[in-house]
Chain A
C-alpha cells in the first residue's frame, strides 16, 4: 500500500504534516488526489456519452439515485480519450455542493506522504497544466502530480474555457464524440 519507503515514513511523525493521497493513472502518468476529497471509488463503469457536450465530459453514470456527470481526465491532459468505459471516482465538491465523477484509466492505492516533499508547479508549465495541477510530490519512483478536485468540477472547467476545444496548446487530444 505505502509506496514511500520506511525511512520516509519515519520522518512523517507529525500528523499535520502527513497527507494521504489516492494515486491514479491516466496513460503512463501517475497523479494523486487528496483522499479526503474523494467520496467513493466506483471502479470500472459503463459511461453513457452525452452528445454535443464539451470534450472534457466523459459521460454520465447512475450513482445513488442521481445522474452523475463525469470528467475525462485523459481529455483534460490532452491524451486521446477512449470512450465507453473507465474507472470512475466520485468527488464531493463541498463549496458548490456539486458532485461529479472523474474518469481515469486505473486507480492505484492510498499513499501517505509528507507535505514537505511537495513542490510547486514549475513556471514553465502551460496554462492548462497550471490550472489542473497543484504541485508535485517528489516520490521515490518519480514525481506524483497533485490534482485539485475543486478545479476539476465540470462547471468550473466550462467557466475557465481553457478546455472548450481540444486543439488548443498543441496537444493532440481528440474529441470524445
Chain B
C-alpha cells in the first residue's frame, strides 16, 4: 500500500518530471487541456488582429498562457514555464494597455504559441521537455521581450529588472552558436504532424450522451434476454421486435450524435493559416465564417480536412489578387474569404468562396492543351462549365510559377478524389472578376447511406439516394416509342432532354434473367461527377438505409462497386459507384448547366423555376407546386398519420412533419378504411432545401399527375388573388406557402 503511494506520488511531487520515461495521467490531462487552450488562443489571436480593442479576447489569451504557466510550475516543466512566463509577461503589458496590438506583436505571439505547442508535443512523446537549460527558446523569449520592451519608457519601474533579466538571457543566447535555435525552428514542422495524429485518436463526448448510450445498451441486453426466453412463437414477440427496433434506432442515433463534431473545429485552424499565407503571398485577406455549429461525423471531418486546407490555400494564392490589382479592379484592397457550412438535403455543404479574380477560362484551356490533357480541337468546342471541370484533372495547375504555397502539381484532382472517396462531390463555380466558389458536398455520415435497392440480371444492387435524381417507369409497350437511337447508343427523351441510357445488366456482363418482358423496365436517372444518365434496371426493390461494408482490395479493383451491404432479407447487395459506372459506360460530363442536385441557387431558379409537380387534392382540381420545393413523394399507410391538437402529423425520418390536407383527403380515406379497404396516403414532402429543410411540411394529395413546365399567369381580377399557372394548356392552381424564397423565385418566373 505504502509502496503504491510512494511511486504514484513521485511524478506529481516537486521532483522534476523530465526523468520519467512515460507520461502519467496527470501530465496527459495537462497536455490535452493546454492544447485546447492553445487552440482557443489561436482563434482569439487572429480575431484580435482584426479587433485590437477587444479586451475579452485578450483576457482569454492571457488565461490560456497563464494556466499553462501555472500548471507547468506544479508539474516541474521548467522550460515550458520559462517560455510561458515570457509570453504571459508580454500579454500582461498588452492587457494593461501599455502596448498596442500590431501585426508584429501578433506574429510574435503566434510564434510563442508554436513554441509552447512544440514543447507540449515533446512532453507527450518522450515524457520530458527536452534540454533543461531551455536554451532552444532563448531566441523566442528574447523576441517576446523585445516586443514588450519596444516602449520601455512607458513601463513601470518594477517591471524593468525582470526585462533586463530576460534580455540578459537573450544576450547569452546571442553569443551561443546558432545551431540550437535553428534546430528549434526545424523541429516545428514534424511536431505539427504528430499533434494532429494524437488529436485524431481521442474524442470528447458529453457524459450525458455516454450515459444515454449505456442505458440503451442495457435496454438492448434486456430485450435480447426477453427474446431468448420467450422464443419466436410467443404472443409478445412482435412487441419485442418492435422494442428492439426502437432501441436500435435510438442507439444508432446516440452513437452518431457522439461522433458528430461541429465543423467549427476544422474552421478554427484557418484564420491562422490564411494570415500566414496572405503574408507570404502579399495579399490582404479577411476570413469570414458561417455555420460553424454544423455537425459532421468525426471521420468525415478528418477526411475533408486536407481537401479543405488545399482549397483555402488555393483561394488565397490563386483566387484573391494582390491589393494593387484589387484596387485597380475597383474592389477593396482587402480580399474576403468566406467559409460556409450548412445542411442541404441530407448532406453537409461546405463552401469556400473568395471575391478574387475568378478562374480565367482561356488560361485553363491553354494550360490543359500544354499538358496534353485535351487536344486543341476539343478545347475550341468546350463550354465554360466543361472547361472548369478541367481543373480537376490530375497534373493540372495554373500557377504561373511554382511557389511554396501552391503549384506543385498536387491539385484539385486530389481534392476531388479525397472528397469523392467519402461519398461526397466537389463543384466549382467561377465568375470572371467576381470570384470563385468551391463547394464540397459530403454525406452526414459514412456508415449509413440511404439508398435504393434495384434488381438487374437477377442480382440486387444499391444506388445511393444522393445520386438519384428521379425514377422513370418505362412500360414495355411504350418502350419502342420513348427510346431513341443514334447509331448503337440508346437515348431516353426526358422532358425534351436526351438522356444516355446505360443497361446495368449489359454493362456488368450479367445474363438478362428477365423473361417476363411484359413488365418493362425502370430508368433510374442518376447524377454524379457532372454526368447525368439513365440506368436501366429490371426492377425496383425497397428504399433502404444501408450499412456500408468495405470490399476486399481485389474487388475494389474492379472499380465499379464502392462497397457491399447486407439487406433486410439477409442477402448481400453490392453498392454501385455511380461515377465510375458512368465512366465505364462512356458517359461524359454534361455541358449545360442543369438545375438538379447541387447547382447554384440561381441555376435552380433558371432551370426548374418553371417546372411544376402537378397533383390533385380537391376533386377535379389541378394543383401544382414548384418542383424544387418537393423533396420526395411518399406513400404512407393511413395508420401512420397521427393527430395532435386537431392537426395531422407524420413522423418522417426522425422529424415531425405537419401535414396540410386541403382537399380533406384524410377524412375520405378514413371512411374508406372503415369500409375495410387498405388505405395508402400519398404525401408530398415539401421543404425549402436552401434553408436547411427547416420549414418542411407534408401535403396530402389525392394523386400525383405529372411533372411539367408551365407559366404563371399575371394576377388580375379574374384570378381573385389566386396564383394560377398554365401547365400543358390547363389552368392550374399554384400553392405558395412553402418558403419566402420560393415565392421570390416565382415572381421571377411571372
Contact = CB atoms under 8 A, between A and B. Distances in A.
A49 interface: yes
B96 interface: no
Contacts of A155: 552-554
Interface in B89-148: none
Interface residues of A, number: 23
A157 B558 CA distance: 15
B555 A50 contact: yes
A52 B572 contact: no
| Of A51, A154, A155, most B-chain CB atoms within 10 Å | A51
Interface string A17-50: 0000000000000000000000000000010111
Given A67-B549, A67-B564, A154-B554, A51 B571 contact: no
Contact of A53 (B457, B558, B571): B558
A69 B549 contact: no
B550 A67 contact: yes
Interface in B529-584: 549-555, 557-558, 560-561, 563-564, 566, 570-574
Given A67-B551, A155-B552, A48 B571 contact: yes
A69 B572 contact: no
Contacts of A50: 555, 558, 561, 574
B505 to A, nearest CB: 9
A177 interface: yes
B549 A46 contact: no
Contact of B555 (A46, A57, A157): A57
A30 B571 CA distance: 31
Contact of A69 (B555, B566, B570): B555
Contact of A51 (B508, B563, B570, B572): B508
Contacts of B549: 65-67
Interface string A63-77: 001110100000000
B226 interface: no
Contacts of A60: 551, 555, 564, 572, 574
A69 B553 CA distance: 10
| Of B508, B550, B552, most A-chain CB atoms within 10 Å | B552
Nearest to B557: A158
A100 B509 CA distance: 25
Given A61-B572, A67-B564, A158-B557, A52 B552 contact: no
A39 B452 CA distance: 34
A137 B554 CA distance: 32
A101 to B, nearest CB: 10
A109 interface: no
B633 interface: no
A46 B460 CA distance: 14
A119 interface: no
B547 to A, nearest CB: 9
A54 interface: yes
B19 to A, nearest CB: 38
A108 interface: no
A129 interface: no
A53 B552 CA distance: 11
Interface of A: 46, 48-54, 57, 60-62, 65-67, 69, 98, 100, 154-155, 157-158, 177
Interface of B: 457, 459, 508-510, 549-555, 557-558, 560-561, 563-564, 566, 570-574
26 contacts: A49-B459, A50-B558, A51-B457, A51-B558, A52-B560, A53-B554, A54-B554, A57-B554, A57-B555, A60-B551, A60-B555, A62-B566, A62-B572, A65-B549, A67-B550, A67-B563, A67-B572, A69-B551, A69-B554, A98-B553, A154-B554, A154-B555, A155-B552, A155-B554, A157-B554, A177-B510
